Structure 1
Amino acid sequence: MDIRPPHFDIDDARRTNECACVFDRLATQIAIEAENAGWLQSEVALALADAAERYVMHVAAGTHETPVAANSNAAREA
Protein backbone atom coordinates (compact mmCIF):
# COMPACT_ATOMS: atom_id res chain seq x y z
CA MET A 1 0.00 0.00 0.00
CA ASP A 2 1.14 3.46 -0.81
CA ILE A 3 0.02 5.77 2.00
CA ARG A 4 1.65 9.15 1.88
CA PRO A 5 1.83 11.58 4.79
CA PRO A 6 -0.69 14.44 4.92
CA HIS A 7 0.04 17.61 2.99
CA PHE A 8 -1.80 19.85 5.45
CA ASP A 9 -1.19 20.80 9.09
CA ILE A 10 -3.39 19.22 11.77
CA ASP A 11 -5.45 22.42 12.15
CA ASP A 12 -6.04 22.88 8.40
CA ALA A 13 -9.64 22.07 7.39
CA ARG A 14 -8.43 20.50 4.13
CA ARG A 15 -6.68 17.71 6.05
CA THR A 16 -9.98 15.91 6.83
CA ASN A 17 -10.94 15.80 3.16
CA GLU A 18 -7.46 14.65 2.17
CA CYS A 19 -7.64 11.81 4.71
CA ALA A 20 -11.09 10.78 3.43
CA CYS A 21 -9.82 10.70 -0.16
CA VAL A 22 -6.84 8.54 0.84
CA PHE A 23 -9.03 6.02 2.66
CA ASP A 24 -11.69 5.97 -0.06
CA ARG A 25 -8.95 5.04 -2.54
CA LEU A 26 -7.54 2.37 -0.22
CA ALA A 27 -10.95 0.89 0.57
CA THR A 28 -11.71 0.68 -3.14
CA GLN A 29 -8.39 -1.06 -3.81
CA ILE A 30 -9.04 -3.54 -0.99
CA ALA A 31 -12.57 -4.21 -2.25
CA ILE A 32 -11.44 -4.80 -5.84
CA GLU A 33 -8.68 -7.18 -4.74
CA ALA A 34 -11.04 -9.07 -2.43
CA GLU A 35 -13.70 -9.38 -5.13
CA ASN A 36 -11.08 -10.56 -7.64
CA ALA A 37 -10.07 -13.20 -5.08
CA GLY A 38 -13.64 -14.50 -4.99
CA TRP A 39 -15.32 -12.67 -2.10
CA LEU A 40 -18.82 -11.35 -2.77
CA GLN A 41 -19.25 -7.59 -2.99
CA SER A 42 -21.72 -7.70 -0.07
CA GLU A 43 -19.24 -9.68 2.06
CA VAL A 44 -16.47 -7.20 1.31
CA ALA A 45 -18.63 -4.17 2.08
CA LEU A 46 -19.76 -5.58 5.43
CA ALA A 47 -16.24 -6.73 6.37
CA LEU A 48 -14.81 -3.26 5.63
CA ALA A 49 -17.56 -1.58 7.65
CA ASP A 50 -17.03 -3.98 10.57
CA ALA A 51 -13.26 -3.45 10.51
CA ALA A 52 -13.76 0.32 10.54
CA GLU A 53 -16.16 0.05 13.47
CA ARG A 54 -13.73 -2.15 15.44
CA TYR A 55 -10.98 0.39 14.85
CA VAL A 56 -13.20 3.28 16.00
CA MET A 57 -14.03 1.32 19.17
CA HIS A 58 -10.32 0.62 19.72
CA VAL A 59 -9.49 4.32 19.43
CA ALA A 60 -12.42 5.29 21.66
CA ALA A 61 -11.28 2.80 24.31
CA GLY A 62 -7.94 4.56 24.51
CA THR A 63 -5.90 1.36 24.32
CA HIS A 64 -3.08 2.64 22.16
CA GLU A 65 -0.43 0.00 22.72
CA THR A 66 2.26 -0.23 20.12
CA PRO A 67 1.94 -3.63 18.43
CA VAL A 68 4.80 -5.99 19.27
CA ALA A 69 5.62 -9.21 17.47
CA ALA A 70 4.58 -12.31 19.41
CA ASN A 71 8.14 -13.62 19.41
CA SER A 72 9.64 -10.30 20.52
CA ASN A 73 11.61 -10.13 23.74
CA ALA A 74 10.87 -6.42 24.01
CA ALA A 75 8.74 -5.34 26.94
CA ARG A 76 5.40 -3.74 26.17
CA GLU A 77 4.89 -0.16 27.29
CA ALA A 78 2.07 0.36 29.77
Structure 2
Amino acid sequence: MRDRFFEVEDCDRCGKPLNGSRIMSMYNQDVLCMDCKDKETQHEDYSKAVEADHEQIRRGNYNFEGIGLKKL
Protein backbone atom coordinates (compact mmCIF):
# COMPACT_ATOMS: atom_id res chain seq x y z
CA MET A 1 0.00 0.00 0.00
CA ARG A 2 1.35 3.40 -0.99
CA ASP A 3 1.42 6.26 1.49
CA ARG A 4 -0.03 9.53 0.15
CA PHE A 5 2.21 11.48 2.55
CA PHE A 6 5.29 10.59 0.50
CA GLU A 7 3.63 11.07 -2.89
CA VAL A 8 2.19 14.57 -2.52
CA GLU A 9 4.28 17.14 -4.36
CA ASP A 10 2.50 20.35 -3.30
CA CYS A 11 1.23 21.64 0.05
CA ASP A 12 -2.45 20.80 0.56
CA ARG A 13 -3.09 24.27 2.04
CA CYS A 14 -1.17 26.78 -0.05
CA GLY A 15 -0.16 24.74 -3.09
CA LYS A 16 3.57 25.53 -2.88
CA PRO A 17 5.95 22.75 -3.94
CA LEU A 18 7.08 20.70 -0.94
CA ASN A 19 10.58 20.03 -2.31
CA GLY A 20 11.04 17.09 0.07
CA SER A 21 10.16 19.01 3.26
CA ARG A 22 6.71 18.10 4.61
CA ILE A 23 4.73 17.44 7.76
CA MET A 24 1.19 16.30 8.58
CA SER A 25 -1.43 18.64 9.94
CA MET A 26 -2.60 18.09 13.51
CA TYR A 27 -6.16 18.94 12.45
CA ASN A 28 -6.66 16.57 9.54
CA GLN A 29 -4.68 14.53 7.05
CA ASP A 30 -3.35 17.45 5.01
CA VAL A 31 0.29 17.33 4.01
CA LEU A 32 1.81 20.73 4.75
CA CYS A 33 4.83 22.82 3.90
CA MET A 34 6.69 24.16 6.89
CA ASP A 35 5.25 27.69 6.44
CA CYS A 36 1.70 26.34 6.69
CA LYS A 37 2.68 24.19 9.67
CA ASP A 38 4.06 27.30 11.42
CA LYS A 39 0.74 29.09 10.80
CA GLU A 40 -1.19 26.08 12.07
CA THR A 41 0.71 26.04 15.38
CA GLN A 42 -0.50 29.60 16.05
CA HIS A 43 -4.19 28.61 15.95
CA GLU A 44 -5.98 29.01 19.30
CA ASP A 45 -6.96 25.34 19.66
CA TYR A 46 -3.74 23.80 18.31
CA SER A 47 -2.94 22.34 21.74
CA LYS A 48 -6.36 20.62 21.72
CA ALA A 49 -5.52 19.03 18.35
CA VAL A 50 -2.12 17.87 19.62
CA GLU A 51 -3.57 16.39 22.81
CA ALA A 52 -6.26 14.53 20.85
CA ASP A 53 -3.57 13.09 18.58
CA HIS A 54 -1.43 12.01 21.55
CA GLU A 55 -4.43 10.39 23.23
CA GLN A 56 -5.19 8.37 20.11
CA ILE A 57 -1.56 7.24 19.92
CA ARG A 58 -1.71 6.13 23.57
CA ARG A 59 -4.76 4.05 22.62
CA GLY A 60 -2.86 2.47 19.73
CA ASN A 61 -4.49 4.44 16.92
CA TYR A 62 -1.64 5.58 14.71
CA ASN A 63 -3.98 6.69 11.90
CA PHE A 64 -6.06 9.30 13.71
CA GLU A 65 -7.82 11.57 11.22
CA GLY A 66 -7.62 14.61 13.48
CA ILE A 67 -10.21 16.79 15.18
CA GLY A 68 -11.13 18.58 11.97
CA LEU A 69 -9.91 21.80 10.50
CA LYS A 70 -11.65 25.00 11.43
CA LYS A 71 -10.89 28.22 9.62
CA LEU A 72 -7.27 29.16 10.29
TM-score, length of structure 1 as denominator length: 0.31
Larger radius of gyration: 1
Relative to its length, the structure with more strand (as a share) is: 2
Relative to its length, the structure with more helix (as a share) is: 1
Higher RCO, 1 or 2 (CA under 8 Å, sep at least 6)?
2
